[in-house]
Amino acid sequence: MQDITDIIALFAIEGELKKVKANKEGHINSTFISTFEHKGTLHKYTHQKLNDAVFTRPEEVMQNIQKVTGHIQSKLEHLPDLDKRCLKLVQTKQGGFYAYDDEQNLWRTYHFIDGVNTYPFLDNAGLAFRFGEAVGTFQKHLSDFPADQLHTTIAKFHHMGSRYSQLRQAIADNKAGRLHEVTDLVAFFFDNEERGMALTNALESKQVPLRVTHNDTKINNVLFDQNTGEGLCVIDLDTVMSGTILFDTGDMLRTGSITASEDEQDLAKVGCDSNLFVQMVKGYRSVADSFLTDTEKSLIAESGRATTQIMGVRFLTDYLNGDVYYHIEHTSHNLDRTRTQIALMQDMDRKWKQITRDLV
């Protein structure tokens, strides 16, 4: 790879470069943090090489990010802490928002957001409310943005029908010879196929409007103020596209309510924390009720179950195909992930009456 200092030099950053370090936290893009000194003050920047194996149309990803961040910034420009509330791209010396290295990899640079906390998982009701509030605020800022202006950078990303088609093909091909191991899991997903189509059917029949969706609303994609605890900024905008906002509430509820890791092998530890589930919804609706339709409101809880189902189907499909999409650390990794999603769905079902009662 071209020297990172040469890549950084492509961007219009004032001051003297003092240091650069690699950030190993992300799993998709290569990330570096730089520190510059300008007029006696230190400023930090985030530099990322976009993974073109995952994002095959990187310029369209960047165009989406420019549009979305520009729209949010226009809503918040009156706030003194704007730079903490929305990602801000640094222009190149040529006036664009991305540059290419010698190997034709696309790079971008953001202003680094300091004075914030991130969390790897959700473990208390107060944080759950703040998490939901942050997702709702992100969507509220974009609720008047014409979603059809965004590129579809990953086709049918959360389309349940498409995911089931891929599962059926994986079953037919049985490339890894594993089908005999998972007949019970296959049966579970097909028993639940009709209910799982709720979000896709609602969007395609126009029962819910087309909106801007983040598509990866995990707790670690929200920056929280170190002093107030407020969820200030939703980051990792690479999957921003058009869809139903229920894709975002669904991923929020799936990742925020599970009581164990996504690949936990002891299924006795895997369940749905109904209190966290309810608090996320309440935090979300405290902001989002101002723009949601009645149908969207009615499907928020269901979105958590449906998104869990999508991920289970995807993990099982990859296992049957021989683990070609998700990174695995051992042979049964995708199988473990599939089983945790099913266990989470089953516990949601056991607690469904309680959850829906508490949401009234």
pLDDT tens figures, 298-317: 999 999 999 999 999 999 99
Q: Where are the domains of the chain?
A: 4-114, 125-358
Domains 4-114 and 125-358 alike in fold: no
Residues of the chain with pLDDT under 70: 1, 24-29
- CA–CA separation, 170 and 215 (whole Å): 24
Q: Given this model, what pLDDT does residue 25 score?
A: 64
- CA–CA separation, 263 and 260 (whole Å): 8
Q: Which CATH architecture has domain 4-114?
A: 2-Layer Sandwich (3.30)
Listed in sequence order, the residues at least 6 apart from 255 whose beta carbon sits closer than 8 Å to its beta carbon are 122, 217, 218, 219, 262
pTM equals 0.93
- CA–CA separation, 94 and 297 (whole Å): 45
Q: Which CATH architecture has domain 125-358?
A: Alpha-Beta Complex (3.90)
Q: Given this model, what pLDDT does residue 327 score?
A: 87
Q: Given this model, what pLDDT does residue 18 score?
A: 96
- CA–CA separation, 288 and 131 (whole Å): 13
Q: Given this model, what pLDDT does residue 152 score?
A: 94
Percentage with pLDDT > 70 across the chain: 98
Rounded to a whole number, what is the distance in angstroms from the first to the last CA of the chain? 55
